[in-house]
Chains A and B, each alone.
Chain A
Amino acid sequence: MIDFVGQKRWFFLISWILVIIGIASLIISQIQLGTPLRLGTDFAGGTSMTLQFSPAVEQSQLREEMAKLGYSEATIQNAGEGSFIIHTQEITSDEAQALAEELGAELNSQVEVIDYYLASATVGAATARSAVIALIVASIAMLFYIVWAFRRMPKPFRWGSCAVIALVHDVFITVGIFSLLGLLTGLEIDALFITGLLTIVGYSINNIVVIFDRIRENKARGLSSDFAITVNSSIVETLGRCLNTSLTTLFVILALFLFGGATIHYFVLVLLVGVLIGTYDSICVAGPLLVVWERGDWSSLLPWAKTRV
């Protein structure tokens, strides 16, 4: 039997590394861009348009031409197959059309504005606020539900807290990865990013609940007097289910990511990253965390601290 609980120091170490990378990226991004994540049109306002070039042009060429035309501040994301998503200050659809034609003439390529989007900055700020509220409300609502679902166990609040900690950890790492991608590749987050985050919140809590459900059952059955053994065998017993479910979900998400087209590419990427981390933290973090709390063995959360004998 694989000893997940016994290896918890390693798992916590991996989590810490990912979290610290995320924090570093958020801080660097805050210093460089003024926001912890690179904000797209939904949150920052402005105009976002998708240009389809045929034949395809290089991103660096496009960036150069944009700068020449006075749009050096624009963010350009390559959406594949000759299409680019450009986020600039607010311009009207007429101006966007004119800009596209000028770019096409300079780069010797046919160009079409296939998607044009304008949002005011004031609305963007309100959207960002709603998004943060939504994440917090969802997390609290789920905490309450889990506390309620595990109300017959001793200390239901502990179960709920461990699930939510694992969840916040999942969300935080995903946010960190997207902050890093924003710094490295110019990836911007939009309203669909929040949608993706909330979906993986639902998904990963799904996994955690299944494992906790088994712990609840095994504990009631009196499987072992040692809580660590109960937790570990519960994780191992549900391992097949957790991996199979993740695998089947990953099949469809991966197919969408690879073949689903530019518009939802980054949305699906959130789901992809979230499902991977959600699977990891439900198996390797949530259960062991419960054991740590039960034993009061808080020092094992810090893998670099000395082992208590």
Chain B
Amino acid sequence: MTRLRRRTVYLLIFILVLFGFALWSVVPLDRNVLGREGLRLGLDLAGGSYLVYQGNLSDVEPGNRDELMDGVKGVIERRINALGITEPIVEIQKREGEYNIVIQLPGIADIEKAKEMVGLFTILEFREQDAAGNWTPATGTVNNETLTLTSRYFKENTDVAVDQYGKPLLVFEWDETGAQLSKQITTRLLGKQLAIYLGDEPLQGEDGHVIAPVVQAVIEDKGQIEGLSLADATELKDLLNAGRIDIPLGRWVNGEFESSIPLYERTVTATLGQDSIQKSIMAAGIGIVLLLIFMLVYYRLPGLVACLSLGIYGVVLLAIFKLVPVTLTLSGLAGFIVSLGMAVDANVLIFERTKEELRGGRSLGAAVEAGFSRAWTAIRDSNITTFIACIVLFWLGGTMGAFMVRGFALILFIGVALSMFTAITVTRTFLRLIVGSQVVTNPAAYGVTSVQTVRNTK
């Protein structure tokens, strides 16, 4: 018994430390903890846009597509950053040989402008400085035609190499037209800078400086750019390779490509998001208060213990959301609230069992232990089926890029897993302490009114 009690005390300390840490990390909700930002809200709660495009890759060989799409992603990120949108998320999802470009833009005011920017082609342009210091397109004449030097004229073997001192180099080759243009331009600009522009923005390195190499020699077919960091060189390589071909963004409909129309588009105003948050919080509050009252009235002392462990459950769950971090969506909030209802289930199962054992005439301590061990198989089996549903839902959510479904499945999964822990560990530890300390011994406090004094003899 002493060993049991010592273990219980250790567990209590562990629970209190966990609770303290969780509480410290969630309050206040928008504070940075351990390098994590505040609770992340999905677009449906924070307001913003969600766009999914497909790339028209019919002109690209299948082997080159993966790398090319990385370049496209970089191009889109740069354009969105240029719009001044904070924390955009751009992802490439590959499925059944098709590429989806998923773009999340939080809190955007002008979606049409953003779509316009995203839909621009991916060609990069070289620019030189005129007498007034303005950057103007670097042009040359080929076959009596004035052409601007762009990434269109690169061969597809642009790559990152290393010189004899171990410094990164970007090596490239021009095609026929590119070579003629490059010869004219680099002859003219010897000793001067040549900048690379995407739309109206110059490319910048990771430290924020504009990438504008000084022309050291006349470049005809082949050349190299020195002095880039490895990260900048790699990114520039991707951008230049992606910029060889126009990759229009749009969607496929029955084998036809429709340019600049997204596959999905969702825009939620910030006011609706605010409204949803307020309403969900109010609904959750009302639901939880009802639930707690019910547990207290029906189960008395164990009900109080359940309320405490539910409180710990809620705080730890919020801490997990914040530290993982899990992006909270409206459906995720619903998942959270449903998981709260389910978290009660494990407690109810245990208490009902304990009551039965008490009615059967067992001592308080034995009844609590039997309640837990007997309820365990039911808790395990029932929660595993919920896990199966969550996993299938998560997969389903991935197949269509519907973030609502994924958010729900993920949060329900985490919630149910945590509820098993709180019911088995937290509730049990509290109950053991109360029973062990013999503060409350009256069975009525455990919701049992009539104890059968005659034991079942079988």
Contacts and interface: CB of A to CB of B under 8 A. Distances in A.
A202 B340 contact: no
A94 B402 contact: no
Contact of B378 (A93, A202, A209, A247): A209
Nearest to B264: A119
Given A94-B112, A202-B385, A116 B396 contact: no
Interface in A48-80: 50, 52
Contacts of A127: 399-400, 402
Interface in B306-355: 330-331, 334, 337-338, 340-342, 344-345, 348-349, 352
A195 B408 contact: yes
B294 interface: yes
Nearest to A42: B402
A255 B286 contact: yes
Find the residue from A50, A117, A131, A206 having the highest chain B CB count within 10 A: A206
A258 interface: yes
A240 interface: yes
Tell me the dominant secondary structure on chain A's binding face: helix
Interface string A70-98: 00000000000000000000001110000
B101 interface: no
B253 interface: yes
Nearest to B288: A252
A115 interface: yes
Nearest to B356: A237
A122 interface: yes
B252 A122 contact: yes
Contact of A249 (B282, B331, B342): B342
Interface in A262-304: 263-264, 267-268, 271
Interface in B58-80: none
B396 A203 contact: no
A93 B265 contact: yes
Interface in B281-318: 282-284, 286-288, 290-291, 294-295, 298
Nearest to A257: B283
A141 B396 CA distance: 15
A209 B279 contact: no
Interface string A199-213: 101110111011001
B292 to A, nearest CB: 10
A258 B269 contact: no
A121 B349 CA distance: 46
Interface residues of B, number: 72
A252 B272 contact: no
A104 B283 CA distance: 31
Contacts of B330: 263-264
A126 B280 contact: no
Contacts of A123: 263-264, 400
B404 A195 contact: yes
B348 A252 contact: no
Contacts of B264: 117-120, 123
A142 B384 CA distance: 9
Given A119-B264, A263-B276, A191 B405 contact: yes
Contacts of B396: 130-131, 133-134, 194, 198
Nearest to B388: A141
Contact of A118 (B252, B262, B338): B262
Nearest to A129: B399
B425 interface: no
B393 A195 contact: yes
Interface in A177-225: 191-192, 194-195, 198-199, 201-203, 205-207, 209-210, 213-214, 217
Interface residues of A, number: 73
A256 B290 CA distance: 12
Contacts of B254: 122
Interface in B377-431: 377-378, 381-386, 388-390, 392-393, 395-397, 399-400, 402, 404-405, 408-409, 412
Contact of A126 (B266, B390, B400, B412): B400
A260 B334 contact: yes
A114 interface: yes
B152 interface: no
B291 A120 contact: no
A250 B412 CA distance: 16
Nearest to A131: B396
B127 interface: no
Nearest to B404: A192
A146 B294 CA distance: 31
Contact of A261 (B276, B290, B397): B276
Contact of A254 (B263, B287, B384): B287
A133 B442 CA distance: 54
Contacts of A238: 352
Given A142-B389, A191-B400, A248-B341, 10 more contacts: A42-B402, A114-B272, A115-B272, A133-B396, A134-B395, A194-B396, A209-B385, A241-B348, A260-B279, A261-B275
25 contacts: A93-B267, A113-B269, A114-B272, A118-B266, A119-B263, A126-B400, A138-B393, A194-B396, A194-B405, A195-B409, A199-B408, A202-B390, A203-B386, A209-B382, A209-B385, A210-B378, A244-B294, A244-B352, A245-B348, A247-B294, A251-B287, A251-B294, A252-B284, A259-B283, A271-B338
Q: What 6 A-B pairs have minimum CB-CB distances, sorted nearest first?
A: A252-B287, A255-B287, A202-B389, A249-B341, A261-B279, A206-B382
